Amino acid sequence: MPPADSLSRRPVTSSPILRGIATAVIAALLVGCENPSPTATPGPAASTPVTHPPTTGPSPTTEPSPTGAAATTFSLAVVTGLTSLKANISLDDLVTLAGSGRLLVPCGVAVDQPAISPTRPCVPADQIVAGLKTDQKLVALFPPGLVEPATKVLPIAGDGPYGMFGADLFGDPHSRSLPYPITGRATGDVALDPSWTAFDQSQVWTMTALGSLCADRSGARQAITLGKGWDWVFDGGTARYKSKPFLNPNPPPGIISQPIVRPIDTGNDGATSSLIRRADVTLGNLKCPILPTKDWAPNRTAAPSLAVPEAVLSRWKDFLGIDAVYLPADHQSDRGVRGIRSTLGLLAKHGFPHTGLGMDLDEALEPAYVEVAGLKVAFVSWNNVPGPSHAGATTPGVAWLNKANVDAAVGRAKTAGADLVICDPQWWGPDEYLPVLSARQQRAVGWMDAAGCDQVLGGGLHVSGGVYLRSGAKGVSLVDPGPGNFQYGQDWAQETQEGVVVELTFRGTTLVNVRLHPYVMILAARAALLDPEGDGHYVLNRIWKTSELDYRP
């Protein structure tokens, strides 16, 4: 049976004809409406190109400080272009790259470990980013203090699937604790700013963010109807594709035939959940209400009445390690006021900080807080997707996405002493299958920038949106329209089958690294990681094709 949403909502994919439809819809709406283990605290293609969201502050700089001496010996990060599909590197790879002239080494630095013989002339350390921008497949050794989101840090290849889980200066806590095998020293030939070589690991922390969480429909069918259990749903491993994408021979009624993939489970159970929960902070996006397990049954109708049982919350803790949840999704009213009350009560019972939904507007606007690396991080959230009731002075529902509510929620976070405010809009653009930022969404980003949002991680889309990087008041500010489905049961298009786990790394409050981990939903129920240089390239290349990454002057 096709998903309930598909009976009334026709998806817009990245094909030129459908982009034209999306552009027309956006134009019409714009004319007519504006409506670480952290501690939780209680047609034709569109003719107008998508533009950068508003710039929020001064551009980051790599100019050296005038005083101080560089560290004599220091670790060297390995970096490549942000859009490169390469996900990690071995020491043997480094030796080979150095000998072939594909490794950039900073001037004034001698590499002590491993023993390499670079054949390419050195590059001034603060010019390496520009070199990688020109050739995204180059690899460079980089003083850790210069790491920024224009490049992607490569972990050392580990013993996990696809070389995951190795030593990583900017990775999860376990990877940061492993012995790091690449070191260099200042030769004195070139002055190195002390901030370039300094590295305080206590300031580094990571966050993973997930797509739509609602394991009803396909997830519930596998777990309950077919008896596989909820552990199976949440404990995915790895996958590959049986063949290249092919047109769906049996699309749901009202859905045009689109490419789909046929994933094959390749084992490594637990790899997906391990990647997610290993972060210092994991952010969840709950798409539907939570009911007591005894009162819940899987959705077996065509009506969009979704919910999950309380039983999934133990899996959120044990498998995904979720630390905070944003709630203002379009299906939160599917079970009425009873469902809203149940959701809020069960999340509180199980200790999940949450935001965006409440028994009144005051509660819906309250931020969720997590403490990590000595910082108080706030999450705030709103919705502009049709469907749920809007929270009011005495009305249960979601916090609606408008300027007043953005100002109010962000203002509360600042008043409470938040060091970093991460904003999580549940939005369409206005279509739920549009991967680029629409003018309507850009206007909302403007509200968030003005209010003081530091990073914007959206949800609600059923496809993976592009990545937008801008210069911000605290360094680089990211806008991600949404990572795609995670557990939502749509398997009628490749773009709804695939998604990414978004991994962000911070140094204090400054964003320094962005990594995307591709996955596919097996049986529309279980997320399984894909090889980024293999079948994962489909979703990654779609994302990079619609992204805007050039925040540097």
Q: Are residues 175 and 295 in the same domain?
A: no
Whether residue 58 has pLDDT greater than 70: no
Q: Are residues 363 and 283 in the same domain?
A: yes
Tokens of 267: 């084992």
User: Which pLDDT tens digit goes with each residue over 270-318?
Assistant: 999 999 999 999 999 999 999 999 999 998 765 668 999 999 999 999 9
Whether residue 20 has pLDDT greater than 90: no
Name the DSSP letter for residue 333.
T
Residue, of 12 and 123, whose pLDDT is higher: 123
Q: Are residues 277 and 178 in the same domain?
A: no
Tokens of 135: 């050739």
Q: Are residues 149 and 212 in the same domain?
A: no
Q: Are residues 314 and 436 in the same domain?
A: yes
Tokens of 91: 């020491």
In a domain, 378, yes or no: yes
pLDDT at 43: 34
Tell me the CATH number at 295. 3.60.21.10
Tell me the CATH number at 107. 3.40.190
Mean pLDDT value across residues 110-114: 96
In a domain, 36, yes or no: no
Q: Are residues 170 and 95 in the same domain?
A: yes
Does a cis peptide bond (omega within 30 degrees of 0) precede residue 155? no
The parent domain of residue 369 ranges over 206-240+262-545
- In sequence order, the β-bridge partners of residue 423 are 380, 456
In a domain, 2, yes or no: no
Tokens of 234: 């949440």
pLDDT at 300: 75
Q: Are residues 162 and 276 in the same domain?
A: no
In a domain, 78, yes or no: yes
- In sequence order, the β-bridge partners of residue 418 are none
In a domain, 11, yes or no: no
109/92 Cα distance (integer angstroms) = 20
Q: Exposed, middle or buried, 429 (CB in 10 Å: 0-12/13-18/19+)?
A: buried
Amino acid identity at 201: Q
Q: Are residues 162 and 272 in the same domain?
A: no
314 phi and psi, to 5 degrees? -65, -30
62/222 Cα distance (integer angstroms) = 52
522/235 Cα distance (integer angstroms) = 12
- Residues of the chain with pLDDT > 90: what percent? 82
Q: Are residues 379 and 396 in the same domain?
A: yes
pLDDT at 39: 52
Going by pLDDT thresholds of 50, 70 and 90, the confidence category of residue 473 is confident
Q: Are residues 298 and 345 in the same domain?
A: yes
Mean pLDDT value across residues 526-536: 98
Whether residue 67 has pLDDT greater than 70: no
Number of structural domains the chain divides into: 2
Produce one character per residue of 410-427: b if its CB has 16 or more CB atoms within 10 Å, e if not.
bbbbeeeebbbbbbbbbb
Q: Exposed, middle or buried, 63 (CB in 10 Å: 0-12/13-18/19+)?
A: exposed
Mean pLDDT value across residues 486-510: 96
In a domain, 62, yes or no: no
Question: What's the pTM value of the predicted model, to 2 decimals?
Answer: 0.89
Whether residue 23 has pLDDT greater than 70: no
The CB-side HSE value for 417 (13 A sphere, CA atoms) comes to 6
In a domain, 254, yes or no: no
The 3-state secondary structure of 395-441 reads CCEECECCHHHHHHHHHHHHHCCCCEEEEEEECCCCCCCCCCCCHHH
In a domain, 276, yes or no: yes
Q: Exposed, middle or buried, 35 (CB in 10 Å: 0-12/13-18/19+)?
A: exposed
496 phi and psi, to 5 degrees? -95, -15
Angle between helices 439-451 and 403-415 (to 10 degrees): 30
Residue found by looking up tokens 């009011």 in the block = 392
pLDDT at 352: 98
pLDDT at 302: 58
3 phi and psi, to 5 degrees? -60, 150
- In sequence order, the β-bridge partners of residue 144 are none
The answer to whether 172 and 178 are in contact (CB under 8 A) is no
Whether residue 350 has pLDDT greater than 70: yes
Residue found by looking up tokens 């100002």 in the block = 407
305 phi and psi, to 5 degrees? -125, 85
Q: Are residues 129 and 187 in the same domain?
A: yes
Tokens of 200: 């305080």
Going by pLDDT thresholds of 50, 70 and 90, the confidence category of residue 53 is low
- In sequence order, the β-bridge partners of residue 379 are 368, 422
Count of CB atoms within 10 A of residue 19's CB? Answer: 19
541/549 Cα distance (integer angstroms) = 14
Residue ending a domain, choose from 144, 169, 199: 199
Residue, of 303 and 149, whose pLDDT is higher: 149
DSSP-based three-state secondary structure for 105: coil
Whether residue 411 has pLDDT greater than 70: yes
* Sign of torsion over alpha carbons 194, 195, 196, 201: positive
364/406 Cα distance (integer angstroms) = 12
Name the DSSP letter for residue 257.
-
Whether residue 265 has pLDDT greater than 50: yes
Residue ending a domain, choose from 199, 217, 252: 199
Q: Are residues 303 and 266 in the same domain?
A: yes
The answer to whether 102 and 136 are in contact (CB under 8 A) is no
171/167 Cα distance (integer angstroms) = 8
Mean pLDDT value across residues 414-441: 94
Smallest CA-to-CA distance from 513 within 128, 278, 132, 169 is with: 169
Count of CB atoms within 10 A of residue 332's CB? Answer: 27
